[in-house]
Amino acid sequence: MTDAPNTPAPQNESADTDEAMKAKRKKMLVIVALVIIVAAVIYALWAFIFSGSVNTDNAYVGAETAEITSMVSGQVAEVKVSNTQQVKKGDLLAVIDNRDARIALAQAQAELAKAQRQYTQSSANSNSLTSQVLVSSDDINSAKAQVAQAQVEVERAQAELARRIQLGASGAISKEELATSQSAFNTTKANLEVAKAGLAQAESKRKAAESNLAANDALIKGANQASTPDVLVAQAKVDQAKLDLQRTEIRAPLNGVVAQRSVQVGQRVAPGSMLMSVVPVSDVYVDANFKESQLEKVRVGQKATLTSDLYGKSVEYHGTVVGFSGGTGAAFALIPAQNATGNWIKVVQRLPVRIQLDPKELAEHPLRVGLSMDATIDLTSK
């Protein structure tokens, strides 16, 4: 006779399964909670450590490059430098044939000497014209005396003629004597007219001398040999000729490295011709192109730390934010984006931020224009 089956067994198995499921759910909840806690801790650490700075590797070295151009025309006689050569301010870079400039200077100096002599001559003419005015005054006085004497002679001849006429009416004198007296009277009248004409001529000469003196004085009045207009114009031409002669020697305007040298000996250059460039490697800066979403807290004066691909992470540069560009790179592109037409896709823009580097660090580890940099700005600095 067989025993009946134990019916409570299925219930025990179901209870064990429920307990296992509950333990599994509890374990999953614990894992999820741990993941959330770890994520929160990581985010907190990131916010605490990294939210105080912004970083970009879209940064490049730049400099205010000096473009060397010719200020005069002529043939290049010498070129003293080559590309990559270090130069200092005032170093001779190139020489233009100066023979034409020397001739122009000699001509300008001759014109200056001529103008100075003309001033000296004008001064002497003033003295001469003053003497002529004085002489003319003496001539006028002499002419007046001659007129007065001629007038007396006329009056005397006139009285003699009247007396002769009375005597001739009574027959006391001959007609010949009367005619002689009449002729003498006419002669004295003519002499009076001649004397008056002489007086008028003397007065005209004095007026002419006075006019010439006034005109000559107008040229030199209130001036000396160095300040008269003609001398000043001639002196300006001499100064210009000296400057043109000086400009035949082209010198470096600053310390730097020669680049883009295109001039050759024998080449004829015109004013404004590009000869070469001088890059001031000791005074370079970095233009860091940050995303517009990174610039909310960036301010002028904040400190920055930079590294260069040239030296690697072992060499750090320290700099200061000195300014922001007036527009994004897209705004100044050769062909700006036409966002108002066609299908539009938003692209995060980048704004160049200029960072000035420490000159001492640049002297220890020189950089060149165009090198890539990695820039980090400390937003907590002021």
For residue 237, the model assigns a pLDDT of: 95
pLDDT at 217: 64
- Please tell me the predicted confidence (pLDDT) of residue 1: 41
Using left for φ > 0, alpha for ψ between -120 and 50, and beta otherwise, residue 266 falls in left
Query: Mind listing the domains of the chain with CATH numbers?
Result: 53-64+280-378 (2.40.30.170), 66-98+247-279 (2.40.50.100), 101-242 (1.10.287.620)
- At 181 the pLDDT is 76
* Blockwise average pLDDT, block size 10, the chain, 382 residues: 49 68 78 84 63 89 93 94 94 95 95 84 67 71 80 80 72 72 81 82 76 66 69 92 95 94 94 93 93 92 94 94 89 74 79 94 92 93 76
pLDDT number for residue 221: 66
Tokens 């009449």 -> residue: 182
Report the length, in residues, of the chain. Answer: 382
What confidence score (pLDDT) does residue 138 get?
Answer: 72
Give pTM, 2 decimals: 0.61
User: What is the structure's pLDDT at 67?
Assistant: 94
